[in-house]
Structure 1
């Protein structure tokens, strides 16, 4: 599959998971729902690997790295992000999560000596400014109270956790560990970690047999986890964590577009201004040509 197809699938699927997550809210604690999601995703991947006779045997050192992937990307990231939504709005969580673009660029430079190009920096900056404008009504009303500050800290920890997971995946791929098998084991470890966190918090392993809950759980496990993470992490290995991460700036736009259709969401003026900035940033980050007008202007002023 081409990098373009991987990128588009990642953005469209993760953008649509926001609606599916809505049907997960209810009698089952979110931590438990996350555990169910990654348990099912792991079983699907492990079964597929067995059917296709793919190697699932790895040494202890590799399992430690796959467990790290599970801790950072398939449990810690979600645990802190969902915790944050109890203190700040989901829009603000999305804005904080976009800091992952900068964190990935920095960590890629630190661990893999990836060159930080001016094009990527300008594109990432445009994307973050655009997302802030998209969620400006929530940003401008944010009150840095104790609860609000705590929520921002939780969201930032979740973002750093996701970036660390990206670096672990990049490291695994550079050492010849296939994405599919790494995700299968990583999600299994993530299930264990998030289950322990849920038990420590006193949550019970209840289950909602309703069609809405079960169907959304299956969608999140198969499409939102097996397929989307497979596409994203493969893309990360192909084009680098600094470029692949820009998808996190785009999928809130897909989510809001779906909300416009299904939830009667109305776009404020700031959001209408912010969307072109996000898209422009996307072109700069992913394009190979370095002769854009903006780049020439930036170089002329430097």
Structure 2
């Protein structure tokens, strides 16, 4: 990070000033740490892509302070509003038709006629965005394809060299990126699973359409969230030179367990941190125990499949 004087965290005012000057800011959210920029500033958005090495076709999420700011840039129907009422602030992203193409530039939207928007649950994130007064894009603050950072130190290690400032908001409570739902052309589809589960969404808006348009969501490349070591999933024991990330009582070394008690929320919060910690040991591979597919397990398995280099 330039200068190094803010390694332990900038103030909200410093972060706002950096954004206003076209700089990048490491910003905490409840899901993962993001690398934020003014959503309207194409040069600043391009700097995010450069820092992350991210494919240009991958759209970014516009983070806003409240639902009113969301509807200023996106066209919400009654079902989109119902989702916002139920889950915001929080880890749900809504993809809807774009209303204000200048507020979220073409590069941030990957040239699409839709925009992905959410109100983050983290108080510091909302405070910075509210003080800035405009939407910010804030993809995960990792180099593209690597595990997302869920601690301040990991975020600074990944992309701090490109950031003008960094806000320390403590460890991320959720630990996996937001659920992404599209509300387009009268259809509602789950584009990316997250901690807001399919069942919770359907309780608000009814059954989801299958299929969806995955290109409208971030984080959908096949190899994603990957450490340097190969990842093997759905295995019961580690091979020679491997580290096993266990799940459930008595599975593997408790020091590496995603959740010794078999708790899916604990596993989600630990997922990227454990992948990073294991990778630093330079193992032959990282093995991961089977994770139940229901509820939050759908999101965990999605991330693990992408870390392993395939989508099942």
Q: TM range, normalised to the smaller chain?
A: under 0.3
Q: Which structure dedicates a bigger proportion of its chain to strand?
A: 2
TM-score (norm 1): 0.26
TM-score (norm 2): 0.26
Q: Which structure dedicates a bigger proportion of its chain to helix?
A: 1
Q: Which has the higher contact order (CA 8 A, sep 6+)?
A: 1
